[in-house]
Chain A
Amino acid sequence: MVPLYGIKCAVNLITTHFGDLVAKVCECLLRKGPLTLQATVRFTELTSSQVKNCLLVLIQHNCVQAFVLEQSVEHGDAAKANTQYIALFDNIIHRWRFNKFLTIVSQNLDKQCVDLLEALLQHGRLTLKQMSDRAKSVQNEGDDVILDAVQEAVIKLLNAHFIERCPASEPVITNPTKQEVSARKRAAKSAKIFEEQETLEQRVVEAAAPSEALRFLLVAQTEPAADGGKDETNSSIVTPGEKRKRDALESETEYGAADEQVVLWRVNFEEFIRRLRHKACVENVKTRLDDGAVTVLKAMLEATRSTEKKVKTDNSVPLSLNSIYEEVIKSEEGRNITFDRVRAALIQLSCPPFVIAANESYSIDFKKIIELAQNEEVESIVLKRYGRDAYRMFRLLSNSGHLLETDKIADATFVEKKETPKILYKLWKDDYLQMEKLQVTGAKRLSQFLLWKVNKNILREHVLNEMFHAALNLVQRVAFELEPEKEMLNIPRDKLLNRQRKVRLLLESSHMKLDDAIMLFHDF
């Protein structure tokens, strides 16, 4: 579920980047869920042509995905199919993070790749031809040279999974019949599997996505390589006529070799979020352990990144000690690390359990690292907002995971019994704690006890909403500070400009730091 202030942030972003009309359509889809064109026209009170243009802009920039929802045939009814549009909240919020994505590319690839990625971020989707035309307009080189350079950059970006083929424009989703739904539930129950219900958004995105075989593949219109064999460095490039996975390609009628010129490419947000997740894990471990442990963790992340099927993976693929050592010594910081030091670092990483050892292989416990980081973020808020006593109480309840009575909390945290309920009440009023009343009939009278608890799932949603609220405040304040009316105030221009520069720097850097925390709670 998207937090209320998350929607406000998304609308603010779209307004800033594309204007009020597009933002109105986007907000309608975010608040009401997937809608047909007609329904969107009705709710926004815009003309059909206006809504269509807005949807095109949003689709171009990967903020909306169209799909066809086919209602299953039931009891002899005719199948109904209509095109609907669903807002992709995550992709909208990623628009804040474009500079972070560019930084990652600049740390890993050359300037040509950075420029190409910037173009894709700016335009949403581009064909190879559009990328070349753009490069031609800024560079003074021959057409062939430019095309080769662009193609080379595209291949590098594809190999790193930084860009991908655009999804299908209108995938078909079928709504299961009532019988199918109950049959699925019964099967899950009997197998004792907890089946996490996929949201409609997840189903649409999955249905629209190109197959894994094609997603990072560029089918080039060039002659086969002279050596006749597969070039390992160009694993993303396949020439027609080469032996390849024919079934995968032939079944993708939209992506036949003849259509490669019109294939649209876009930024693969998933890979950037994965890299940022890894970066966050390293940062968190850095605050607790030494450089050796951090180097070993980085090596494990590097070695297993390409095997991750989804961003929110709980554990990395297990690695043996030898594989880890081989990866460690590849890096600059790990060049001089000994085998024994790697083994010692892995023991360090097991306490707290960032790395799990089983059957002589090691895997990173992402879930644990992320959970610890989330706890630290929330505890920091409690400490600053409510004080040290509240901090101890909150940690006690958070660690115990169940209801505790007021006096027990007072004893464990060394706080006066008469002060304890006041602090707990403040935390409860601001939705950081849950409270239950227990009435016990004693020998002569009725006693009332108050029990307190931290509900981590509810709290996470609440804190995430506060973070989006704070992010929107920062963005709003920047706009306020840079208003032209400020120049009318009786302040010397150079002083005003200097202040505006400092203020902007502080607000924007705070926003980016807060965005790291938002990703911690929402995307990681």
Chain B
Amino acid sequence: MSAKRKRPGPASDSLVTEHEKTVHEVIRSKKDMGASQWEMKREINVADNIITKCIKSLLSKNLIKEVKSIQSRGRKHYMSAEFEPSSEITGGAWYVEGSLDTEYINVLKEQCWRKIYGMKVATLEGIADALRRSNVSQIELSKQQVEEIVKALVLDNQVMEVKSTGTGEFASIPVGKVCYKCIGKRGYGGEPKLGALASIPCGVCPQISRCTPDGIISPNTCAYYQKWLDF
């Protein structure tokens, strides 16, 4: 005769609730940083399946919520309902749902470039003002955020950072102040001049360190050369 599993009685019910309370306390103590299940396990010595049950229950009671964390790298992250996730786990203005908001960043970068192009020489304040006035972003950007975008344009080699000489095109800018200019004669998104090595197959080849004059990988047998010379 198979024994039927007993339904959990009143004694086991209060044990689950007790655990729920403990789990909720741990999550709440992390405030706007929240915690993952792994972190909870380390703090309270309770079996994994019980923690999972507690989380499920707390979620259904809307006492906690699930948030995306850029630090957790795949693990789910939970926060007490009354807190908003800090920028340390959301990633700040540039992240949405735990991923970089690439589209938003690219739009801002282009707009920023156009403002600098229009002004010929621009300070950070000038760029921030211009962006604000044109309502490019629905969210008000801080000076630091504008600086991050401008510095990214410098890294893209679209814009260069210079110091004002106080004369000529810098006449309206105090001497020594950092400002920005568009580079060269290409438009936004234009690629920099192709270098000599980069314009031949060897320059792009992932196998160059294994290529030898008489080896299996050699200029005579190279598939990239074959394609390049296929007129």
Contact with B along A459-492 (1 / 0, CB 8 A): 0000100110110111011001100000000000
**CB within 8 Å of A: which B134-176 residues:** 148, 151-152, 155-157, 160, 162, 165, 167-168
Q: In whole angstroms, how far apart are the Cα atoms of A101 and B72 in the complex?
A: 62
Bound form: Cα–Cα A391–B199 in Å = 16
| A347-379 contacts to B (CB < 8 Å) | 347, 350-352, 376-379
CB contact list, A221-238 vs B, under 8 A: none
- B-chain residues with CB within 8 Å of residue A417 when the two chains form the complex: 70-71, 73
Interface residues of B in 84-112 (CB under 8 A from A): 94, 99-100, 102, 105
Residues of A within 8 A of B185 (CB): 287
Q: When the two chains form their complex, are residues A392 and B156 in contact, meaning their CB atoms are under 8 A apart?
A: yes
**Chain A interface SS verdict (over half):** helix
Quick check: is B14 within 8 A (CB to CB) of the other chain? no
Question: Are A469 and B211 neighbours in the complex by a CB distance under 8 Å?
Answer: yes
- Chain B residues with CB under 8 Å of A411's CB are 148
Interchain CB contact under 8 A, B184 and A287 = yes
Q: How far is the CB of B218 from chain A (nearest CB, A)?
A: 8
Smallest Cβ-Cβ distance to B225: which chain A residue: A477
Known: A8-B213, A417-B70, A477-B220. A412 touches B151 (CB 8 A): yes
Complex CA–CA separation, A8 to B194 (angstroms)? 26
Which one of A377, A391, A430, A477 contacts B209 once the chains associate, using CB atoms below 8 Å?
A430
Cβ of B94: which chain A residues have Cβ within 8 Å of it? 414
Is A473 touching B211 in the complex (CB atoms < 8 A)? yes
Q: Check A99 for interface membership: any CB of B closer than 8 A.
A: no
Q: State the majority secondary structure of interface residues on B.
A: loop
> How far apart are the CA atoms of A347 and B121 in the complex, in Å?
14
Give B181-201 as 1s and 0s: 1 = Cβ < 8 Å from A's Cβ atoms: 101110000011111111110
Complex: A376 Cα to B184 Cα, angstroms = 13
Taking a contact as CB atoms under 8 Å apart, the answer to whether B198 and A470 are in contact is no
Of A132-140, A301-309, A510-518, the one contacting chain B is A510-518
A438 at interface by CB-CB < 8 Å: no
Q: Which of A491-513 contact B (CB under 8 A)?
A: 499, 502-503, 506-507, 510, 513
A381 sits at the interface (CB 8 A): yes
Q: Scan residues 28-70 of chain B and give those whose CB is less than 8 A from a CB of chain A.
A: 70
Q: Identify which of A352, A384, A414, A513 contacts B105 (C-beta below 8 A).
A: A414
Contact of B165 among A347, A481, A510 (CB under 8 A): A347
**Chain B residues bordering chain A, tally (CB within 8 A):** 50
CB neighbours (8 Å) of B220 from chain A are 476-477, 480
In the complex, which of the residues B73, B148, B194 contacts A380, with contact meaning CB atoms closer than 8 Å? B194
> Do B203 and A385 touch across chains, with their CB atoms under 8 A apart?
yes
Report yes or no: A481 in contact with B229, Cβ–Cβ below 8 A. yes
**Contact status B193-A510, CB under 8 Å:** no
The interface residues of chain B lying within 8 Å CB-to-CB of A380 are 192-195, 197-198
**Cβ A502 vs Cβ B225 within 8 A:** no
- Chain A residue numbers with a CB within 8 Å of B213 are 8, 472, 476
Contact B168 A514 (CB under 8 A): no
Q: Assess the A473–B202 pair: CB atoms within 8 A.
A: yes
Q: Is the CB of A470 within 8 A of B167?
A: no
Contact B203 A381, beta carbon cutoff 8 Å = yes
Cβ contact within 8 Å between A503 and B229:
yes
Chain A residue nearest in CB terms to B184: A288
A480: B residues at CB distance < 8 A: 219-220
- Are the CB atoms of B200 and A384 closer together than 8 Å? no
| Closest chain B residue, CB of each to CB of A8 | B213
CB under 8 Å from chain B, chain A span 100-145: none
**A344 to B203 CA separation, bound complex (whole angstroms):** 39
With A351-B162, A376-B195 as contacts: A395 and B200 at CB distance below 8 Å: no
Contact B196 A377, beta carbon cutoff 8 Å: yes
Interface residues of B in 197-226 (CB under 8 A from A): 197-200, 202-206, 208-209, 211, 213, 218-220, 222, 225
- Whether the pair A513, B199 counts as a contact (CB closer than 8 A) is yes
Given known contacts A383-B192, A418-B73, A502-B231, is B152 in contact with A470 (CB within 8 Å)? no
A469→B208 contact, CB < 8 A: yes
Q: How far is the CA of A480 from the CA of B219 in the complex (A)?
A: 9
A307 to chain B, nearest CB (A): 28
| Residues on the A chain within 8 Å of B205, using CB | 385
Select from chain B the residue with minimum beta-carbon distance to A471. Answer: B202
Q: Does A416 contact B (CB under 8 A)?
A: yes
The residue in A380, A385, A463 that gathers the most chain B C-beta atoms within 10 A of its C-beta is A380
In the complex the two chains form, is B191's CB within 8 Å of A395's CB? no
What separation, in Å, do the CA atoms of A413 and B100 have in the docked complex? 11
**What residues of B have a CB within 8 angstroms of the CB of A507 in the complex?**
229
Whether, in the assembled complex, A396 has its beta carbon less than 8 Å from a beta carbon of chain B, the answer is yes
Q: Which residue of B lies closest to A392 (CB)?
A: B155
Interface string of A386-422 (1 = CB under 8 A from B): 0010011001100000000000000111111110000
**Given known contacts A288-B184, A392-B152, A480-B219, A376 and B192 CB-to-CB distance under 8 angstroms:** yes
Shortest beta-carbon distance from B5 to chain A in Å: 40
Say whether B152 contacts A510, CB under 8 Å.
Answer: no
Within 8 A of B (CB), among A312-350: 344, 347, 350
Chain B interface (Cβ within 8 Å of chain A)? 70-71, 73, 94, 99-100, 102, 105, 148, 151-152, 155-157, 160, 162, 165, 167-168, 181, 183-185, 191-200, 202-206, 208-209, 211, 213, 218-220, 222, 225, 228-229, 231
14 other contacts beyond A381-B198, A391-B155, with CB at 8 A cut-off? A347-B167, A352-B160, A378-B195, A380-B192, A385-B206, A392-B156, A411-B148, A412-B155, A416-B99, A466-B202, A469-B211, A476-B213, A477-B219, A481-B229
Q: Considering the complex of A and B, which 10 residue pairs feature the smallest CB-CB distances, nearest first?
A: A380-B195, A470-B202, A517-B196, A473-B219, A380-B198, A392-B155, A377-B195, A384-B198, A477-B219, A480-B220
Between-chain CB contacts (< 8 Å), 15 pairs = A352-B160, A379-B157, A380-B192, A381-B203, A391-B156, A412-B155, A469-B208, A474-B219, A476-B213, A503-B229, A506-B228, A510-B196, A514-B197, A514-B200, A517-B195
